[in-house]
Structure 1
Amino acid sequence: MQLQALHSLKQQLSKAAIWTEALEFNRWEYIKTAGTANTNLYFIEEGCARVYFSEDSDEHCLYFGHSGSLISALDSFLSEKPSSIVIQCINKTKVKVIHKKTFHHFIQNNNEASNLWQQVLTDLMQWHLEREKDLLINSPALRYERVLSRQPDLFQQIPHKYIASYLRMTPETLSRILNS
């Protein structure tokens, strides 16, 4: 995902000094649990987190956040209703938080920030389209190659069992691909 618009938007928010709070989470600590509503946006200052949902006993990774990225339970952020999305820190993670109402007020009163937000949303939609393609590709090796080409840092920061879930394969399949 293009990060320039996101980085510029974050600078605008910092300049305006409207962060709601700064939080620090320990490894495996939850930012959001299933069944709760959460209308915050989280900008990761350091560390990484995974965004997932559970089905029966399986966890399905939707995406990961790491330093410099934005995470949210987007369904809950938009609807203001509880969702099944979970956000869990993979290691010690520091985030800056902004509540939806504060954020919306800011972008409604700042044309540059509003334009940046539109670019962030456009980038996010393009990223999700590529993600959908990844999930529909039958070949596990090709899914791996596509994600590796777009997000090489992912493989240095995230445990392989979560990457396997993200790639829609077993950890054993990922291990075979990595060792081939």
Structure 2
Amino acid sequence: RVRTWLSVDQDVLEIGCGTGTTALQLAPSTRSLLATDFSADMIAIARDKLALQPVRGLSFSVADADTPAFAQGTYHAVLAFNLLHLVSDLDHTLSLAIQALKPGGLLVTKTPCVGEMNPLIPHLALPLMRAMGKAPHVLCFKGDDLQSAITRQGMALVSVERHGTRGKDIRAFIVARKPL
């Protein structure tokens, strides 16, 4: 689905790329794709994958989504998959991602909306797992909250979808455009 929003004349940034699997799949649909993650170990795995399966225009770099690290107005699209619920400050992270976009650029995200899960998970299971050191900090917002956070940054929602069985996926797929 993401490829329909990309083109071979675009420079793309992915934040929170993990081991680079998605970047390896999407990079051929772009001019260049810089895939980043705050974990040096994840980036090392991604670079090993890239060495085994070279893709023109794809590079990996260690970078924190919560720290200003990207030139403003550089990218046609910023991708953030399975990441925004793991940041410490959603508005701050979105602001930085959007600053990296060119005017008219797209933010494309598929984000777990943990606040839509069984209430026992965000209110009991996650706090217990965090207390035992078995889970990271997780923001427990709903899809409407995520959409509001994106529009607070001045972005226009272009598409909001759910792809799971009968549309019940807790992961909201959102595409938003930065004003010209």
TM-score normalised to structure 1 length: 0.26
TM-score by structure 2 length? 0.26
- Greater relative CO, 1 or 2 (CA 8 Å, sep 6+): 1
Question: Structure 1 or 2: larger helix share?
Answer: 1
